[in-house]
A = this chain, B = another copy of it.
Amino acid sequence: MSLAPEFKVVFQPSGRMVYVLADTTVFEAAARAGLMLQTPCGGRGSCGKCRVRVVAGDVAPSAACRQFFSAAELQQGMRLGCQVRLVSDAVIDVPAASLYESAAARILTDGQAHDLHVQAMVEKTWVQLAAPTMADPAADLMRLERVLGPLRIKLSLLRQLPAKLRANNYGGTAVVCNGDLLDFEPGDTTSSSFGVAFDLGTTTIVAVLLDLNSGAEIGVAATMNPQVNNGDDVISRICAARDSQANITAMQDAVIQACNALIRQLSRDHGVQPRHIYEVTIAGNTTMQHLFCGITPAALGEMPFAPAFSRALVLWACEAGIRLEVNEHARLYVFPNIGGFIGGDTVAGILATGLWDCKDTVLLVDIGTNGEIALLHQGKISTASAAAGPAFEGARIVNGMRATSGAIEKVVFNGNDLQMNVIGNALPIGMCGTALIDLVAELLRLEVIDCTGRIVTADEVPQLPEAIRQRLHEADAQVNVLLCSAADSGTGEALYLYQKDVRELQLASGAIRAGINIMLSRLNLTADDLDSVLLAGGFGNFIRRRNACRIGLLPALPLARIRFVGNAASAGAKAALVSRKLRAIAEQVATAAEHVDLSMDAEFQMEFAMAMMFPQQ
């Protein structure tokens, strides 16, 4: 039986729970739970940033832990998350300071260098206006403008203004966003100012409720993007949009409804009134942003992939077709796109990771069906999009699946056999992309797969451990690798890695790596010149860096240089909501970034072919 026992780990204060294999690091378990611990040292235990406290369970301190913590602290359960491994069920407390995901908050906290501080576009000001008199019968709007300066105002609000002003004898709280009057509320409500930042993914929508006064995160909620009914990937959605205007409307309605459900959930859970939500930011890929706005993405489905808009859109949260359930006069900021396949999510990621103000040479990679690559060098950012295909999502892999319950998500060779971890403590029904990378990397190390991607026969590797040898099954002149017998499988059928699955992985990995290589060589750089590689996005944050390097998806760099940056798109959407300076920078980034069309590069085919080969080691 190849399925190892799993341990249940609960993280506090979020209450998030995951099941992991024995010997999984706390860092990795936390990542699995969506909590990204800070590891600027690359997980070598030298920086001390990933400190956590073991509340329950048996988590032995490492040597590095003893360097960072006193005996008393160790006694209290203090540990370095990247250094300690889980060998039992555990409850672990994660201090906010140890989390990477507060990238926006960190930028804002460390902002002295950038002259950044929390300054939302939305400003609430309590004012006591003089009531009109015969000596001063000036108009209601003018009385406000005398205090607040010139204002733009929607007719629908102007219509309410006389009553709103008179309701409280011309005292109240004015809500202004970049010169637009959004509301006038009775009493002093300046302390209740909220916004919602959306990371609008093709698969998942993440909403963060923020306090616009402090910049503090109030709560997070996520849901599936209901547009999956129109296809899993961006191309399917584009095709659906091309089919009919009704599909566009339906997809827009679906995503707006999903966003509203998240807003309702966050409002309810955190006691915030929706009418106190005055601004919403949206960061998604170009197609998602088009569909959110009800704009056809049809042109993104054919050469030359020109979007309808690229600069940021500043809209009303209740503008044609959009009916977000927030303050009726709230504003909506849609991130600028760089190009048809480099969208607002990448801009948000660049914003959140601070690439716009960094002197290093840095690669930011969001691995997915569409791999987005941003390379910072000498202060200039170039971007490219690599069409990896859906292998990382488990599609086109015979026993592949998304990273949901029942998916094998991790594979390790323990010296004798392969051990696997399944999401949701269930019987396995397939494997997701991270497991595919793990598996192929381990098989490369075992020389079961050669550098061309061929799965060899057992005879070709004499020293192979017996358990592994048992897994190699020949059929139709090809060798497949048994993951799980029919008896152990949730489907009742055996699960295999097939030769063609390896080919799919080669295509996906090769596309991204070729993109990276071309981006580097255009600037006469090599991988060694990279000070860091930042992995962003829902998939990138779950891969094992060592294995990603082994299959050649990432350049073989010291792991300390490869860092997870969590959901950078969400962090960027948050940053744009609470910092008007960062919002201005988003626009500058989108305008200044050079977009490289990989398919137009003369070297692409050659690079692609070469990158499909697995590295020799």
**A interface residues (Cβ-Cβ under 8 A, vs B):** 132-142, 145, 154-156, 158-159, 161-163, 166, 293-296, 298-299, 303-311, 313, 315, 319-322, 337, 339-340, 595, 597, 599-600
Q: Give the residue of B293, B306, B315 whose beta carbon is less than 8 angstroms from that of A139.
A: B306
Contact A308 B597, beta carbon cutoff 8 Å: no
Contact A155 B310, beta carbon cutoff 8 Å: no
Contact B313 A600, beta carbon cutoff 8 Å: no
A294 to B311, CA, bound (A): 34
**Chain B minimum-CB-distance residue to A303:** B134
Given contacts A134-B303, A141-B308, A154-B319, 5 further A-B contacts (CB under 8 A): A134-B304, A137-B306, A139-B306, A142-B309, A155-B319
A141 to B339, CA, bound (A): 12
Contact B308 A140, beta carbon cutoff 8 Å: yes
Contact A600 B142, beta carbon cutoff 8 Å: no
Residues in B neighbouring A141, C-beta threshold 8 A: 308-311
A599 to B135, CA, bound (A): 11
Residues in B neighbouring A595, C-beta threshold 8 A: 137
Residues in B neighbouring A158, C-beta threshold 8 A: 293, 295, 308-309, 313
- Copies per assembly: 2
Q: Give the residue of B162, B321, B340 whose beta carbon is less than 8 angstroms from that of A295.
A: B162
A166 to B311, CA, bound (A): 20
Contact A156 B306, beta carbon cutoff 8 Å: no
Q: Which 7 A-B pairs have the closest CB atoms?
A: A132-B306, A139-B310, A137-B304, A156-B320, A141-B309, A134-B304, A139-B307
With A155-B294, A311-B142 as contacts: A132 and B320 at CB distance below 8 Å: no
With A155-B293, A295-B159, A319-B154 as contacts: A309 and B140 at CB distance below 8 Å: yes
Contact A296 B138, beta carbon cutoff 8 Å: no
A295 CB to nearest chain B CB (Å) = 5
Residues in B neighbouring A339, C-beta threshold 8 A: 137
Contact B340 A308, beta carbon cutoff 8 Å: no
With A315-B155, A339-B137 as contacts: A161 and B320 at CB distance below 8 Å: no
Q: Give the residue of B136, B166, B298, B322 whose beta carbon is less than 8 angstroms from that of A162.
A: B298
Residues in B neighbouring A138, C-beta threshold 8 A: 306, 310
Contact A600 B135, beta carbon cutoff 8 Å: yes
- A-B contacts, 20 of them at CB < 8 A, read A137-B305, A139-B309, A139-B310, A140-B306, A141-B308, A141-B309, A141-B311, A142-B310, A154-B319, A154-B320, A155-B315, A155-B319, A156-B320, A158-B295, A158-B309, A159-B296, A162-B295, A162-B296, A162-B298, A163-B296
Contact B307 A159, beta carbon cutoff 8 Å: no
Contact B321 A133, beta carbon cutoff 8 Å: no
With A139-B337, A337-B139, A597-B134 as contacts: A159 and B309 at CB distance below 8 Å: no
**Chain B minimum-CB-distance residue to A316:** B155
Which residue of A138, A158, A306, A597 has the most chain B CB atoms within 10 A of its CB atom? A306
Contact B162 A308, beta carbon cutoff 8 Å: yes
Residues in B neighbouring A320, C-beta threshold 8 A: 154-156, 159
Contact B308 A137, beta carbon cutoff 8 Å: no
Which residue of A135, A293, A303, A307 has the most chain B CB atoms within 10 A of its CB atom? A307
A608 CB to nearest chain B CB (Å) = 17
Contact A600 B134, beta carbon cutoff 8 Å: yes
A315 to B157, CA, bound (A): 12
A154 to B322, CA, bound (A): 12
Residues in B neighbouring A135, C-beta threshold 8 A: 600
A578 CB to nearest chain B CB (Å) = 24
A111 to B529, CA, bound (A): 67
A136 to B304, CA, bound (A): 8
A440 to B282, CA, bound (A): 73
A319 CB to nearest chain B CB (Å) = 5
A311 to B144, CA, bound (A): 12
Contact B340 A293, beta carbon cutoff 8 Å: no
A517 to B443, CA, bound (A): 103
A138 CB to nearest chain B CB (Å) = 7
Residues in B neighbouring A296, C-beta threshold 8 A: 159, 162-163
A275 CB to nearest chain B CB (Å) = 18
A600 to B132, CA, bound (A): 15
A163 to B311, CA, bound (A): 19
A605 to B527, CA, bound (A): 91
